[in-house]
Every structure is written in C-alpha cells, then in structure tokens.
Amino acid sequence: MFFPIGDDQIKGGAYPFFSYTFLVLNIFIFLYQITLSPDSLIVFFDHFSTVPVYIAEGHHYGTLVTSMFLHGSAMHLIGNMMFLWVFADNIEATVGNLTFLSFYLLGGVIASLAHVFFNLDSNIPSLGASGAISAVLGAYLIMFPHSRIKAILFLIFILKRVTMPAIVFLGIWIAIQVFSTIQSMSMVESTGTAWFAHLGGLAFGLIMGFVFKGQARRMTLYS
C-alpha cells in the first residue's frame, strides 16, 4: 500500500484556497461528529449522508453534496485528506479557484450518483470525500502524469519512503479500484466501501483532465 505525502509543486497560478478550505472543513466537521452521542451520530448521518434509496425515491438530493464532507472514522478522514493535500493544489493553481470549486463539488456529486445507480435499494448511508478526490486524481493523472509523487510504502514488515512518477502511483491506485469493484460485485455483503463512487469520480476526473489540459494548451498558444 502506498500513502502519498507530497509531490512536485508548480510555480505560479492561483492560490489553492478551496483545496485548503475543503481540508480544514472536513477536519472541523469530523471533530464535531466525535462530540455526538452514538444515537445523535446515527441521526446526523441519516440527515446528511447519501442514502441510495432516498435518492432513488426523489428525496434528499442535497445529501449528494453534504455527504462528501462527512467521514466514518479518523483513518477514513486522514487517508482522504492526505490525498486531497497532495493532489488538489496543483489542479486548483492551474485551472483557477472557481473552476476548481465547481469541478470538485460536481465530481463528488457524480461519484455519489454512480454509487446510487448500482445500489438503488440500499438504505446504507454513503459518506466521505473519496468520490470527489477520485475526480481530483483522475484529472491529476492527465494534467501532471510525470510529476514525482513522494509516498510511504507500507508492507507487512516494511515501512519505506519512495518516489515515483504520478502515472505509476495513480496507475497502481486505479488498478486497486477496478479490482476491488469487480471483487465487490461477487460478494453477498457490502464491503463498506463505495467502489462505484470511486470509479464514477475517476471517470469524471479523467474527462475533465483532458478538458483542462486542452484549455491550458490553448491559453499558451494565444498568449
């Protein structure tokens, strides 16, 4: 398992205001969550997480947005926020603040809709920033494939710092998502991870990565 800790920083561009704002917001919401009693937390998740059957019945559409700011555990939060910290800022610096804001939120919504589509009868709440961050990773792969990713390698008895091209790091990540999605389809019980949300967000991010890259190329030609 690889855990990202840094990457090549681009010079110039927009200050990554929303990347850092989302990171802080996710942390503060989680800190609020842990102050709730177990019963209150269940009610909180029911109101603000995405429940597929509710969406399928035409209710609670707002949770497609609010759910991406909730997390089920500290490790869930830390993992997502490290990916957000490493990969989001270069994209925001390149495309601009408002474009990144729209991209991130829309990526999270599309990811949640992908999960809903494949789980229409489920009443299990879905939450977390993973779908939106999957969109970020997809766009990053297209826009910065040769950027160097600093990561920690976790194996059974090995803990090592490594550096690799983004195309390798994200290629491994994508392979894990695809394999896990296929595996989850053959399981009777849910794995607890919304794998289709990851793939939905990723697909959106890949498409937008090409769009952003094309826009940047045209701006360079006409400048």
Q: Is the pTM of this model over 0.85?
A: yes
10-residue averages of pLDDT along the chain (223 residues): 86 91 98 96 94 94 97 94 96 96 98 94 93 98 96 83 95 94 73 86 98 76 55
- Which one, of 203, 185, 204, lies nearest residue 194 by Cα? 185
Residue 99 has a pLDDT of: 97
CATH 1.10.645.10 fits 2-222, yes or no: no
Q: 110 near 55, Cβ under 8 Å?
A: no
* CA torsion through residues 20, 25, 26, 32, sign: positive
Residue 116 has a pLDDT of: 95
Task: Locate the domains of the chain by residue range.
Answer: 2-222
Query: What's the alpha-carbon Rg for the chain, to the nearest Å?
Result: 18
Residue 12 has a pLDDT of: 78
